[in-house]
Structure 1
Amino acid sequence: MGASVAVSEANFAAEVLGPCAEMPIIVDFFATWCGPCKVLKPTLERLAMEYGVMLATVDIDQNPELASQYGVEGVPDVRIATAGRLQPGFVGAVPEGQIREILARYELRSELETTLAAAQGAIAARQFPEAKALFDTLFERYPDHPGVTLEAARFLILLQQFEDAERLLNSIPPDQAEHYKRAQGVKSLMRFQQWAADDPSQGIGAAAQGVLQGEYETALQQLLAIVEAGTREKDIARQGMVDVFALLGSQHPLTRQYQQALMMALY
């Protein structure tokens, strides 16, 4: 699976509505003149391969009746076909993280995500050789995947292999805006390592330790308290919160919640 197939009014039922009873299918209503469609297409193709599902593409200009039947008013309009019906997806070139959230609603989970979760579990259990073996497997199968690069860099930072981590992070180009921003956030883990080493028991050090252990909400609460207290560490805590936002990504619920709280504390 993971193929991209152009479908039309003539074969839509046979290629999409029938097969989706067995496995969800991503349906991309697009137009050749649509700029956001061209931006989104490579991401959809890559995700279809990663998740092992079919991507069905529908040119709305060539298939106006099909577009009208499903109420397509703007493109790209991406739906999920499952159980013989088209279900809501999204409209526009949305971030990859949001697409993954939508796929998760339909109980789709990729091999990459499963293996990454296993690697993270091995790290949490401090089974570092097992984690390294899992990352080696991921790089072999997904050599240019930014998600793998980011998580591997975090692992290297934990091992204090900072030069190797930075080399990985620098391989993510600025034109991959979402992943590039997260790469800058992962670089901040080196700063958190230093803060934690200075005084891991209280203040900035305790919050930094929480970040390094993946306890992001607790760390954000601690950093926010420092900002609100207005101590001499206020600016460091503010930068620490910004770094955590970059680490989590702009769409993460904690980022949204604590960005607003930080704004209220500052202004």
Structure 2
Amino acid sequence: MVDTCFMIQPFDGGRFDKLFEDVFDPAVRATGLEPYRVDRDPSASIPVDDIERGIRDASVCFVDLSVDNPNVWFELGFAIAEKKDLCLVCAKGRDRYPFDIQHRSVISYSSESPRDFKDLSDKITERIKALLKKQENVERVSLPEVTAPRSGLKSHEIACIATIASEVSGLEASISNYYIKSEMEKVGYNSLATQVSLRLLLSVEYISMRTEADQDGDPYEVYALTSSGWDWVAENIDRLNLKATTRNNRRGYSDFGTNPDDEIPF
């Protein structure tokens, strides 16, 4: 079965269909995924059911936020609820996004010249490839409720520090509380486990926290690994699973959790 990218955008027989044909479709195909449009699926019979199934089955969802289209917001909301990885784009000129989008990475694009579309295509391909690479390194797993401490940290704390380490590229890079919580939920931990883990990691100075402002001026927390945090990762590298997960396994659950000595899946 071909892995798909579910396309969430207006389809108007005009501008947005041209964008799909000329930019979005080839950019997605360059990643090895098949762009899926439910309106072009001859087997689709009940649109809402087929949309939900298409989103669930997709490796990644692509979303164009340029206009307020009710179908786009419905499909995006469902994709967020399903915790799907998203490649978000938006034409320049939009002033603000809904709260659930504000802390996410959005590719802003203009359409003043052909080079703008080439730049947009390259960024879409790069973003989706990055999402797929992350998926190859982080499995969705079912974790035990209680496990023994390892190197001074409990399993949920290890999962938290590994989540941050897998998403940032150095001491200056950081990710939001919202994103960490979302990734922790994918490996079986709820919001309370995430917040407790963050506070503990702050107290032992493995991570740092600072406050940034979104486009409306509202504050939100971002976290980064400290030098001590990276040292902990290096010292405990044998406890972290560095093997890539095959794409066919991406949507399933592994056998992790049956043994307290299992590796943390990052």
TM-score (norm 2): 0.29
Q: Which has the higher strand share?
A: 2
Give the TM-score normalised by the residue count of structure 1: 0.29
* Relative contact order higher in (CA < 8 Å, ≥ 6 apart): 2
